[in-house]
Chain A
Amino acid sequence: MATKLPKTDVVIVGVGWGGGIIASELTKGGLSVVGLERGKERKTEDYYMVHDELRYALRYEMFQDLSRETITFRGNEKIKALPMRSYGSFLLGDGLGGSGVHWNGQTFRFLPYDFEIKSKTIERYGKSKIPDGMTIQDWGITYDQLEPYFNKFEKMTGISGDENPLGGKRSEKYPTPPMKTTPGMKMFSDSCKGLNYHPYHMPSANLSEQYTNPDGIARAACQYCGYCERFGCEYGAKADPVVTVIPVAKNTGKFELRTHSNVRRILHKGGKATGVLYIDTTTGEEYEQPADIVVMTSYVFNNTRLLLMSNIGKPYDPKTGTGVIGRNYAYQVLKGAGVGFFEDKEFNIFAGAGSLGMCIDDFNGDNFDHKDLKFIHGANISYSQTGARPIQNNTVPPGTPTWGKDYKAATVKYANRHINVGAQGSCMPFRHHFLDLDPTYKDEFGDPLMRITFDFEDQDRELVKFMGAKCGDILKQMGADKVVANTELAPYEITTYQSTHNTGGVVMGSSPDTSAVNNYLQMWDTENLFVIGASAFAHNSGYNPTGTMGALSYRAAEGILKYHKNPGSLV
């Protein structure tokens, strides 16, 4: 029997970016909040030994322990889904701060087009532009409505950047100036200008200069240490929940954080959430935490999985296309890319920062004409200098032997003599891409694993063909001696890292028939339950997700405070 604890105003499931933002906003608003995080506590002092490529990048020190819980995957419904036994395609956050501690900090705003993708596509190209089975929909909110919340997230994190010439309108400038410009970035920028594109600095949560945010949190400037993605920042320069929102929540005296607390069910009665059931992973004891409001911030997969396991919301059925929980799973399409080799130029690419780079949006969203193209949307194209670490940095021209003397010589020669330009392709949802509970495989507690059914489509292959060529053009213009552009997209596979930009499953919208949550991320049919994260994205854009996910979190926080005063549907 679970021990029943005293009731709290709000309980949060998972304390990463989403959980941290909710905790700080609600406690500032006077509510008592309990944060349940399955992993361990974290602090900047943990990172004295963090510049260790093997331990952090290849042995996945900071990520979820897959022996306890993983996902299963299949390319389509005819195949048996099998567990992701070791890491590959994406990495799952765990512990205080979640993935927010080992992210790169590339912090974009989705485009105005994204939020009204269906209407705008039909308006410009007609209904027939949307292929059979593609389930894009408007998000139930516009860019302009979300703009103040983007601004809030960027001020809290201190984003460094200059204005995107092709992005949505901004009410204010970025809080800090752009990051420094490396020779490679300058070459990319010059090349793009030569091609009449519109380069700008990648918006960065790494901090170009010392910054104090509106909550009074001061952070140091980034040192371009080159150990950013997959690592924690020993300077506290990278915006992460542990050095920004969580201390603010703690300072109110109204936030109680419980680590090693794995939530297994959302409890509900009569259409209302009553609390959560969780297990203390250090003792194995079960607890019930009652609350007036339950906020799920346990990332895309566990947001979806916990709802399905708790029988909340109508599960998605791919056969009929009805139901919502598990619907519109999407990812990122990254294979459109190029590499340029330089015979006589060496770059200091061992140095870098997670979001140090230049990019263009000339081929993102609907910023270009798709009339004669067999895909919609596009990609942000960028050169980013994140730190080329030696175990994983072995880029060689095609035709080089795969090991031995010549391989070694080529890896040594080109270690600092190459530049990668890549396209972060958007990913559209399809009727047969979805999340549900795996019928066979279980986590450490015997609960079913999340099952992903997903593959790349023609839309994605066309996009890669187009973007790969664009990347190649930019590299040629940059003066590379040899340019290798990838324009091919093989079936989706789970074994090589692509990106941790999983989206959908609990999507937002303006109708309960096609969405699980409204534009405050409030569940349509369980009003005191809020489900926050990129799980709310109805499709994935040609950008990293967290800027948009952070904006939605701030809006949800505002909604929760409103709801607490005045219960009922917020829309």
Chain B
Amino acid sequence: MANETEEQDLKDHKEPDHSRRNFLKNSGYAVGGLIVGGVVGSLLRSPNKSTTNNNNNGNTTEKAPANEAVNFNQALMHFTQEQFLIMEAATERIFPADDNGPGAKELGVAYFIDHQLAGEWGVNGREYMQGPFFKGETTQGYQGRLKRREIFDIGLQEMQNYSNKKFQKKFKDLTPEQQDTVLKAFETDEVKLTTISASGFFKTIFGSTMEGAYADPLYGGNGNMAGWKLKNFPGNQMSYTKIIEQDKFEKMQPVSLREHLPHS
């Protein structure tokens, strides 16, 4: 049963017994003291930037402040670092930080998408993928043979190619306005792709951005339930009987599914 594995996962959340710096040293990412790639760099970031607070009671060799929050969920299961950075930048443009509150990056949306692609959704596990494959009418829906993971691999590469061609820079290094230009070109099929539909790919990343912003934080997005707070959505309360007839809008502290399991 899915619940049991989730419970197991939660129990297994312990801080590894080597520090993040040691990890970097051992993993060979740091070449001559030079750190390559944004994700690796972010491992050295001040940890209070993390969005969710998981268990933090494991042994650490490094002396971390007692209440330091580390989000062990923020690592990659599917994306390469390059793909991740495109995803993080693109989702932030789709759902940017603003006066209302955090954007996709702070909410952890790109991690959410990574984790989703690593699982059943990424391989269209519960969808009909038998041939023969024909093009079909738009009323008949997606008829391709590619799985979501493959579509993301191709789509992100194409975004990078288009950015390089049009602006001579990687997507993540473009200005926000230039990034919007690239995304629009995909949304409107101005980018001509042969393997996948550019607008279809845009729709998928748009949809998964919304999912990552608003799904229960257990999936790695909606960090600190900040997505829910944006909309004054109270997460999952057990009952609304008391307020259902009430005229006044009710603001509540949201509750996530984590509360539905006993935690010692």
**Would you call A53 an interface residue if the criterion is a C-beta within 8 Å of the partner chain's C-beta atoms?**
yes
Q: List residues of chain A with CB under 8 Å of any chain B CB.
A: 48-49, 51-54, 58-60, 65-67, 70, 73-75, 79-80, 82-86, 88, 180-183, 221, 223-227, 346-348, 350-352, 356, 389-391, 393-394, 402-405, 408-409, 411-412, 415-416, 440-442, 491-495
B244–A180 touching, CB < 8 Å: yes
Checking A48, A183, A440, A492 against B132 with a beta-carbon cut-off of 8 angstroms, the contacting residue is: A440
Q: How far is the CA of A82 from the CA of B130 in the complex (A)?
A: 11
Q: How far is the CA of A88 from the CA of B211 in the complex (A)?
A: 17
Q: How far is the CA of A59 from the CA of B127 in the complex (A)?
A: 10
Contacts known (A85-B129, A405-B96); A416 close to B236, Cβ less than 8 A = no
Checking B139, B210, B233, B250 against A491 with a beta-carbon cut-off of 8 angstroms, the contacting residue is: B139
Contacts known (A82-B143, A404-B96); A390 close to B128, Cβ less than 8 A = no
Q: Which residues of B sit under 8 angstroms from A352, Cβ to Cβ?
A: 240, 244
Q: Which residues of B sit under 8 angstroms from A347, Cβ to Cβ?
A: 249
Given contacts A226-B240, A404-B93, 11 further A-B contacts (CB under 8 A): A54-B211, A59-B120, A66-B126, A86-B141, A86-B142, A180-B241, A225-B237, A348-B249, A393-B231, A441-B128, A491-B139
**Would you call B228 an interface residue if the criterion is a C-beta within 8 Å of the partner chain's C-beta atoms?**
yes
Q: How far is the CA of A223 from the CA of B126 in the complex (A)?
A: 32
A409–B239 touching, CB < 8 Å: no
Q: List residues of chain B with CB under 8 Å of any chain A CB.
A: 2-3, 6, 93-96, 98, 100-101, 103, 120-121, 124-130, 132, 134, 136-143, 180, 183, 187, 206, 209-211, 213-216, 218-219, 227-228, 230-241, 243-247, 249-250, 257, 260
- By secondary structure, the B interface counts as loop
Q: Which residues of A sit under 8 angstroms from B231, Cβ to Cβ?
A: 390, 393, 411-412, 415-416
Contacts known (A73-B140, A224-B241); A350 close to B233, Cβ less than 8 A = yes
B214–A86 touching, CB < 8 Å: no
Q: How far is the CA of A506 from the CA of B239 in the complex (A)?
A: 41
A409–B98 touching, CB < 8 Å: yes
Sort A-B residue pairs by CB-CB distance and give the 4 closest, nearest first.
Answer: A51-B236, A351-B240, A493-B139, A223-B239
Q: Which residues of A sit under 8 angstroms from B132, Cβ to Cβ?
A: 440
Q: Which residues of B sit under 8 angstroms from A441, Cβ to Cβ?
A: 128, 130
Q: How far is the CA of A183 from the CA of B139 in the complex (A)?
A: 38
> Nearest A residue to B120 by beta-carbon distance?
A59
Q: Which residues of B sit under 8 angstroms from A226, Cβ to Cβ?
A: 240
Contacts known (A52-B257, A351-B243, A442-B130); A403 close to B94, Cβ less than 8 A = yes
B187–A402 touching, CB < 8 Å: yes
Instruction: Kindly provide the distance from the CB of B253 to the nearest chain A CB, expressed in whole angstroms.
Output: 13
Q: How far is the CA of A52 from the CA of B211 in the complex (A)?
A: 11
Among B241, B244, B245, the one with the most A-chain Cβ atoms within 10 Å of its Cβ is B244
A404–B94 touching, CB < 8 Å: yes
B238–A223 touching, CB < 8 Å: yes
A348–B244 touching, CB < 8 Å: yes
A49–B260 touching, CB < 8 Å: yes
Q: How far is the CA of A393 from the CA of B210 in the complex (A)?
A: 10
B126–A65 touching, CB < 8 Å: yes
Q: Which residues of A sit under 8 angstroms from B120, Cβ to Cβ?
A: 59
Q: Which residues of A sit under 8 angstroms from B213, Cβ to Cβ?
A: 391
Checking A59, A88, A409 against B141 with a beta-carbon cut-off of 8 angstroms, the contacting residue is: A88
B136–A82 touching, CB < 8 Å: yes
B127–A86 touching, CB < 8 Å: yes
Checking B129, B143, B209 against A67 with a beta-carbon cut-off of 8 angstroms, the contacting residue is: B129
A390–B142 touching, CB < 8 Å: no
Instruction: Kindly provide the distance from the CB of B116 to the nearest chain A CB, expressed in whole angstroms.
Output: 9
A225–B239 touching, CB < 8 Å: yes
Q: Which residues of A sit under 8 angstroms from B96, Cβ to Cβ?
A: 404-405, 408
A82–B140 touching, CB < 8 Å: yes
Q: Which residues of A sit under 8 angstroms from B241, Cβ to Cβ?
A: 180, 221, 223-224
Instruction: Kindly provide the distance from the CB of A309 to the nearest chain B CB, expressed in whole angstroms.
Output: 18
B141–A390 touching, CB < 8 Å: no
Checking B3, B103, B240 against A224 with a beta-carbon cut-off of 8 angstroms, the contacting residue is: B240
Instruction: Kindly provide the distance from the CB of B91 to the nearest chain A CB, expressed in whole angstroms.
Output: 10
Q: How far is the CA of A332 from the CA of B98 in the complex (A)?
A: 41
Among B3, B234, B236, the one with the most A-chain Cβ atoms within 10 Å of its Cβ is B236
Q: How far is the CA of A375 from the CA of B130 in the complex (A)?
A: 40
Instruction: Kindly provide the distance from the CB of B92 to the nearest chain A CB, expressed in whole angstroms.
Output: 10
Q: How far is the CA of A60 from the CA of B128 in the complex (A)?
A: 14
Contacts known (A58-B211, A181-B245, A225-B237); A80 close to B126, Cβ less than 8 A = no
Q: Which residues of B sit under 8 angstroms from A389, Cβ to Cβ?
A: 233
Checking A53, A54, A75, A80 against B139 with a beta-carbon cut-off of 8 angstroms, the contacting residue is: A75
Instruction: Kindly provide the distance from the CB of B209 to the nearest chain A CB, expressed in whole angstroms.
Output: 8
Q: Which residues of A sit under 8 angstroms from B101, Cβ to Cβ?
A: 412
Instruction: Kindly provide the distance from the CB of A53 to the nearest chain B CB, expressed in whole angstroms.
Output: 7
A416–B249 touching, CB < 8 Å: yes
Contacts known (A84-B128, A88-B141); A54 close to B240, Cβ less than 8 A = no
A59–B130 touching, CB < 8 Å: no
Q: How far is the CA of A183 from the CA of B180 in the complex (A)?
A: 41
Q: Which residues of B sit under 8 angstroms from A405, Cβ to Cβ?
A: 96, 98
Instruction: Kindly provide the distance from the CB of B148 to the nearest chain A CB, expressed in whole angstroms.
Output: 10
Instruction: Kindly provide the distance from the CB of A81 to the nearest chain B CB, expressed in whole angstroms.
Output: 8
Q: Which residues of A sit under 8 angstroms from B183, Cβ to Cβ?
A: 403
Q: Which residues of A sit under 8 angstroms from B142, Cβ to Cβ?
A: 85-86, 495
Q: How far is the CA of A447 from the CA of B69 in the complex (A)?
A: 54
Checking A73, A84, A408, A416 against B232 with a beta-carbon cut-off of 8 angstroms, the contacting residue is: A416
Q: How far is the CA of A348 from the CA of B246 in the complex (A)?
A: 8
B141–A391 touching, CB < 8 Å: no
Instruction: Kindly provide the distance from the CB of B88 to the nearest chain A CB, expressed in whole angstroms.
Output: 16
Q: Mind listing 7 A-B residue pairs with CB under 8 Å?
A: A49-B6, A53-B215, A183-B247, A351-B243, A404-B94, A415-B231, A493-B138
Q: How far is the CA of A60 from the CA of B186 in the complex (A)?
A: 28
